[in-house]
Amino acid sequence: MSTDGQAPPWPPRDPRSRRCLRLASGTALCLATSFGLALPVPMVAPVLGVFLLATLNRPMSPRTGLGLALVVMLTTGTGLLLIPLLRYYPASGVLLVGLCLFLAFRYGLRGGNGLVSTFLVVGLTMISAAGTFDFGLAVTVIEALVKGLLVALVALGIGHWLFPEPVGAGTPSAPAELPEDQAARVALRAALVVMPAFLLALNDPAAYLPVIMKAATLGRQTCTTSARGAGRELLGSTLLGGVLAILFWGALSLFVHLWMYFLWMLLFGLLVGRKLYGLSPSRYPPGFWVNTLVTLIILLGQSVQDSAAGKDVYTAFAVRMGLFVGVTLYAWLMVAWLDQPRGARQLSG
């Protein structure tokens, strides 16, 4: 009897558990490697690892990975070109950065590579802001981004080697390309979310680089968030990330060691990954959980660095968390305002 056209006797295994393990182990590996090797701005590697592991369900070849690293160097290097303009013509420089942010977000929304769009946003903001204070600091940020990306790519490869995709698992469909007018509106909203953090960083780049990274994450999240659920998703994920960072810090304080740092990150990554991939029921979209994990990594990484530098960790955490909440409330306001019907927005203005 012919079996042509019949379904295979064994259906493909559910890939979500492997993806959860890959996300948690890859993020923990990036975290331990960046802090263990004392990379510049060590929180960059695990943040990029989260973006890569949550986005790519296929391993990346060495050639493609090196090509992506080269693209990152070129895209982030655009921030260096804006440094003279920001130093000598600050008003024109800020306007040009805003325009470039709009074009970078619009490129991603119109079907462009989302990772390249993210790196453009980071390069335009973090590197140009750092360069207005000290050119060497801008070069250090570029070094941190490139090294962090290489660590994240290695973690991605190891994750797919340890937890490969099951045979027959489908690949996620690419995000739908938005119409021109809608893409322009959403890109404008995302650019307005990032700009206040960039202006803050112009005054003290070293202190506000984490705020820029948080704002860039919020800008990404607002591209897929509607006004109806914006407050719950944006503010909720930020607050949850802060709560998890406090719990993580308390657990890590019981026994301070790099391997415990790795193991606790693995545990927290598994808890968030279960929600992200739907293994545990959740009413929130994946973007909520990605933002939660990124917020946790940024807050915790900065607290570890504050502790190593002998600073007051709790005061610094409170100030940083307050800034994160302020940036998030502003993002919520932008989403609510720009999602109004055009006529209502004109009346409110």
The whole-number pLDDT of residue 3 equals 47
Q: Is residue 112 part of a domain?
A: yes
Whether 10 shows a pLDDT value over 50: the answer reads no
Q: Which amino acid is at 3?
A: T
Q: Is residue 349 part of a domain?
A: no
Question: Mean per-residue pLDDT for 113-133?
Answer: 82
The whole-number pLDDT of residue 170 equals 56
Most confident of 134-148, 174-188, 266-280: 266-280
Helix (H, G, I), strand (E, B) or coil at 61: coil
Q: Is residue 280 part of a domain?
A: yes
Whether 247 shows a pLDDT value over 90: the answer reads yes
Geometric angle at alpha carbon 181, from 180 and 182, rounded to 5°: 95
Quote the pTM value: 0.86
Whether 250 shows a pLDDT value over 70: the answer reads yes
The whole-number pLDDT of residue 7 equals 46
Contact criterion met (CB below 8 Å) for 307 and 198? no
The whole-number pLDDT of residue 346 equals 44
The whole-number pLDDT of residue 11 equals 45
Q: What is the mean pLDDT of the chain?
A: 82
pLDDT band at 114 (very low <50, low <70, confident <90, very high): confident
Count of other CB atoms within 10 angstroms of residue 149: 25
Whether 46 shows a pLDDT value over 90: the answer reads yes
Domain count, the chain: 1
Contact criterion met (CB below 8 Å) for 36 and 258? yes
Q: Is residue 29 part of a domain?
A: yes
Question: Mean per-residue pLDDT for 197-204?
Answer: 84
pLDDT band at 241 (very low <50, low <70, confident <90, very high): very high
The whole-number pLDDT of residue 294 equals 92
- The terminus-to-terminus CA distance of the chain in angstroms comes to 73
| Residue percentage of the chain with pLDDT more than 90 | 21
Question: Mean per-residue pLDDT for 128-144?
Answer: 84
**Rounded to whole angstroms, how far apart are CA atoms 197 and 192?**
10
Question: Mean per-residue pLDDT for 85-113?
Answer: 86
Higher per-residue confidence, 120 vs 263: 263
What contacts 183, CB < 8 A, 6 or more positions away?
A: 106, 109, 110, 177
**Rounded to whole angstroms, how far apart are CA atoms 115 and 117?**
5
The whole-number pLDDT of residue 330 equals 84
The whole-number pLDDT of residue 173 equals 54
Question: Mean per-residue pLDDT for 317-345?
Answer: 77
Q: Is residue 301 part of a domain?
A: yes
Does residue 310 come out as left (phi exceeding 0), alpha (psi in the -120 to 50 range) or beta? Answer: left
The whole-number pLDDT of residue 155 equals 92
The whole-number pLDDT of residue 57 equals 81
Cα distances from 131 to residues 47, 79, 83, 120, 202, in angstroms, run 22, 8, 6, 16, 9
The whole-number pLDDT of residue 293 equals 94
Whether 45 shows a pLDDT value over 50: the answer reads yes
Phi, psi of 245 (to 5 degrees): -65, -40
Question: Mean per-residue pLDDT for 193-216?
Answer: 83
What contacts 13, CB < 8 A, 6 or more positions away?
A: 166, 169
Q: Is residue 11 part of a domain?
A: no
The range of the structural domain enclosing residue 91 comes to 16-164+178-341
Q: Is residue 288 part of a domain?
A: yes
Q: Is residue 37 part of a domain?
A: yes
